[in-house]
Chains A and B, each alone.
Chain A
């Protein structure tokens, strides 16, 4: 099974999880996802997801000027984002528990 396909389904949740920790800018989110073990996450996918979540009203954003590098647009969860994150996390937890259960039963036979 291609894990990149799985990742597509949970990228929103992954990004929300990263931002629930602390606010982050685009490439920072990519790095933190990769550091967490999601090596295959694509830069463009994360960027697109951030923009979509922002447009959907789940994120707030602010620009932090930097002297040496480019400006950084930080994203953070707002009320809607936190609710979305909580709901999706619950769905995922239930789903993954069901899958884990199913796989345990399968291997026990």
Chain B
């Protein structure tokens, strides 16, 4: 058996070894060296190729309990990765990103912490939040700049992974909010739109009734901060009737017109009468400016044009109707 044949047989025997090519890189030259020394055939001097292969692997790292064996998979993959030009460029660029990461992870850690304690928020909502964020960022930079020992490396990796999860969670929350906010109109007069989720995402108009069942009209609704509460009828295929002029948007029930998707104008639910128009034109109270809610504005005086339960729209608005 020539050295080449012998080497081939050894390669065959190690066909399933992950490092085979690396391991047997210079086997041919090595065997040729041995063959030159003596006329005795290689099989006699070295034993059968299969046994040679077995011994070789045993010395190389075939020992089952050897931790080095794991290198068999990881090390070549890392070496291969290290040879890729794109990876080299990214790896060279990474240290420049490090300070940015320190700031980001400090911010994320602080916001993650305050969101666990209080309501979930992505930006600092109070001076305490701001202090915490600044402190966390400074701490993160301090921690990043000091050379961490081997012992702390595991902890650092785990903490970074946790912060990364917090960041992804925050991004997911933010993207959720931004889709919800799509329809929110922050009107100029500073009114707050009803958070749709609060009313099950189905409320576009409010029909107040007195305790004795009398339908109330022209009820002005304000939130706890004195901000007018408004809805988004346009999301449900309705628009505010402006035939009597610009109505007060937090005065309920709102005069709504069902929008016909096939017609341009749309039809009014009821033709405006003089009295309804008069009601609409009532000057807006200065609640916004004073900040104090006006709880009893005309609440007990039913207007003639006020809708009653029997006048409720027969067609149930569905999401498919919305724009």
A73 within 8 A of B: yes
B26 touches A44 (CB 8 A): no
B60: nearest residue on chain A (CB-CB)? Answer: A48
Cβ B36 vs Cβ A48 within 8 A: no
B60 contacts A49, CB within 8 Å? yes
Q: Choose the segment among A50-58, A78-86, A95-103 that binds chain B (4+ C-beta atoms closer than 8 Å).
A: A50-58
Digit string of A51-79 for contact with B (CB within 8 Å is 1, else 0)? 11001100000000000011111000000
Nearest CB in chain A to that of B49: its residue: A44
Number of contacting residues on B, CB 8 A?
A: 28
Q: Which applies to chain A's interface (DSSP): helix, strand, loop or mixed?
A: helix
A44 and B59 alpha carbons, distance in the complex (Å) = 8
C-beta contact mask, B177-200 vs A, less than 8 Å → 1, else 0? 000000000000000000000000
From B27-35, B128-136, B231-239, the one touching the partner chain is B27-35
Closest to B72 in A: A55
Chain B residues within CB distance 8 Å of chain A: 19, 22-23, 25-30, 32-34, 36-37, 45-46, 52-53, 55-61, 68, 71, 75
Q: How many residues of A contact B (CB 8 A)?
A: 21
Return 13 A-B CB contacts under 8 Å, by A number: A25-B33, A26-B26, A42-B59, A43-B34, A43-B45, A43-B46, A44-B53, A44-B55, A47-B56, A48-B56, A55-B19, A55-B71, A69-B32
Q: Which residues of B contact A52 (CB under 8 A)?
A: 59-61, 68
Residues of B within 8 A of A71 (CB): 26, 29
Q: Is A11 a contact of B59 with CB atoms below 8 Å?
A: yes
Residues of A13-56 at the interface with B, using a CB-CB cut-off of 8 Å, are 25-27, 42-49, 51-52, 55-56
CB distance from B112 to the nearest CB of A (A): 40
**A27 and B55 in contact (CB under 8 A), knowing A48-B60, A52-B68, A55-B75?**
no
Give every chain B residue within 8 A of A55 (Cβ-Cβ).
19, 22, 71, 75
Residue of B nearest to A42 (CB): B55
CA gap between A94 and B99 in the complex, in Å:
48
> Would B59 and A45 count as touching, CB distance under 8 A?
yes
With a CB–CB cut-off of 8 A, which chain B residues contact A49? Answer: 59-60
Q: How far is the CA of A51 from the CA of B53 in the complex (A)?
A: 13
Question: Is the beta-carbon distance between B58 and A45 smaller than 8 angstroms?
Answer: yes
7 closest residue pairs by CB, A with B = A48-B59, A48-B60, A44-B55, A70-B32, A44-B56, A45-B59, A48-B56
Of the listed residues B22, B28, B45, B56, the one surrounded by the most CB atoms of chain A closer than 10 A to its CB is B56
* Cβ distance A70 to chain B, nearest Cβ, rounded Å: 4
* Min CB–CB distance A59 → chain B (angstroms): 13
- In the complex the two chains form, is B29's CB within 8 Å of A70's CB? yes
